[in-house]
């Protein structure tokens, strides 16, 4: 593409962006509003501003982290857990999000214990979940591709190498590259093979036998509980808990964890 064509494309993109945001509050304004509200203790106002940001498509890990923290301070623990889990799916190295997720789960457990006399704290997910969330999906795919490219390059190098030492080194490199490619491929597979995970956003919910408002309640769900989403029908989602119980839940009460 010539330089003139690039310039035209850039101008068109700017025009479209300006048109899209002309009628809405700018993202920076919303972020500023959230920060101001949070600093004066208006957690509901801060949450509203951040929710508007996310609804407008500005859902970076920073925004989700801030929203999760505001939720946690507002004792909306299920939604806070959902936000932190999403941050960690995208950025597993976010120590602040990991710390706040743990603190939120402990706060939630304390509140449940104070209300009902018992509580469950999810501290460590299952091995398959851990394997699937070892790396964000895009990093796993990237690592697999890089390992494959390395294997190919080493294979060509080995063919052209004349020295015995170089051939041995290339062979070892190929073995290592294949191992890395297979391992990261397994991580990708583990992530893709499982049904999409989700978080129960509110407390006092029950699984329903049928996707209807008058479906018979089956089992109780915990706020912040991790479930698997099986399918969607209308405004209801069929979910399965870690204990294997399956049932329907209003879709608005479940937050899906995506990459």
Partner 1 sequence: MRPSLRRALCLTATTASLATMAGEARAEVRVTVSVMPPQPVAGQPFHVVYSLQVRNDRMVQATQLQFPGMRVLANAAPPSTANMMIGGFGAMGGMFSVQSSAEYIVVAPRAGRFTITGIGAVDPQTGQAVGRSSTQTVTVTAAPPGGAQVAQPAMPAQPAMPGFPMGFPPGLFPPGMGAPEPPPPVTENDPDAPPTGQITSAQYDPAGFVRVSVDNPTPYVGQQTTLRIWLYVPSSEVACDVQHEPQLTGFWNEQLIDRTQVRCARQWFRQNVGQREMYAGLVRKVALFPTRAGRMEVGAPEVVAEYIENDGFLGQRRQITARGPSVVVDVREPPTEGRPANYVPGLLGPLLLSAELDRATVATGETATLRLRVTGNGYLGAVGIPAPPAVDGIRAHDGASHHEVDPSDERNVRGILTSEYLMVPERPGAHALGTLTVPWFDPNEGRYHTSTVQLPTLTATGPAPERDADERREDPTIALEPLEPSPSLTAHRPFFTSGARVWGVIALPPLSLLALGLARSLARWQRTRASKRDEALRNDPVSLSAQADAALAAGDTARAVDLAGRALERAKREYDTAAHTTLLREATDACDALRFGGAGDARAAVEKVRALVRALEEAS
Which one among 52, 107, 176, 178 touches partner 1, defined by CB under 8 A? 107
31/161 with CB nearer partner 1: 31
Out of 8, 138, 231, 252, the residue judged to bind partner 1 by CB under 8 A: 138
Q: Is 72 in the site for partner 1 (CB under 8 A)?
A: yes
Q: Which of 141, 183, 186, 250 binds partner 1 (CB under 8 A)?
A: 141
Q: Is 228 in the site for partner 1 (CB under 8 A)?
A: no
Identified binder of partner 1 from the candidate list 169, 173, 185, 196, rule CB under 8 A: 185
Are the C-beta atoms of residues 102 and 85 closer than 8 Å to each other? no
To partner 1, the closest distance from the beta carbon of 233 in angstroms equals 16
Q: Give, as ranges, the residues between 230 and 259 that touch partner 1 (CB under 8 A).
A: 258-259
Would you give the end-to-end CA distance of the chain in angstroms? 32
| Stretch binding partner 1 (CB under 8 A), from 2-10, 35-43, 162-170, 246-254 | 35-43
Q: Of 3, 18, 19, 41, which lies in the binding site for partner 1, with binding defined by CB under 8 A?
A: 41
CA distance 77 to 115: 15
Candidates 33, 49, 53, 81; binder of partner 1 (CB under 8 A) is: 53
Q: Is 103 in the site for partner 1 (CB under 8 A)?
A: yes
Per the rule left: phi > 0, alpha: psi between -120 and 50, beta: everything else, 234 is left
Q: What is the binding site for partner 1 (CB under 8 A)? A: 27-28, 31, 35, 38, 41-42, 44-45, 53, 57-63, 65-66, 69-70, 72-75, 90, 96, 99-100, 103-104, 106-107, 110, 137-138, 141, 144-145, 148-149, 152, 185, 188, 192, 213-216, 258-259
């Amino acid at each position: 593409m010539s330089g003139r064509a690039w310039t035209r494309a850039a101008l068109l993109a700017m025009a479209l962006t300006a048109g899209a945001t002309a009628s809405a509050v700018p993202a920076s304004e919303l972020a500023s509003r959230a920060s101001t509200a949070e600093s004066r203790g208006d957690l509901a106002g801060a949450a509203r501003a951040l929710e508007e940001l996310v609804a407008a498509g500005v859902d970076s890990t920073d925004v989700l982290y801030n929203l999760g923290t505001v939720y946690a301070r507002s004792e909306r623990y299920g939604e806070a857990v959902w936000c932190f889990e999403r941050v960690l799916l995208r950025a597993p190295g976010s120590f602040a999000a990991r710390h706040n997720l743990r603190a939120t789960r402990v706060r939630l457990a304390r509140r449940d214990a104070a209300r009902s006399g018992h509580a469950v704290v999810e501290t460590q997910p299952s091995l398959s979940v851990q394997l699937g969330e070892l790396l964000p999906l895009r990093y796993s795919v990237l690592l697999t591709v890089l390992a494959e490219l390395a294997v190919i390059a080493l294979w060509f190098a080995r063919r052209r190498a004349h020295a015995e030492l170089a051939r041995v080194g290339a062979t070892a490199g190929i073995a290592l590259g294949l191992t890395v490619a297979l391992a990261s491929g397994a991580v990708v597979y583990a992530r893709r093979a499982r049904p999409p995970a989700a978080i129960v956003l509110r407390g006092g919910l029950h699984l329903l036998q049928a996707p209807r408002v008058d479906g018979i309640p089956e089992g109780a769900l915990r706020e912040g509980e991790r479930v698997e989403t099986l399918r969607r029908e209308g405004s209801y989602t069929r979910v399965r808990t870690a204990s294997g119980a399956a049932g329907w839940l209003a879709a608005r009460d479940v937050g899906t964890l995506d990459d």
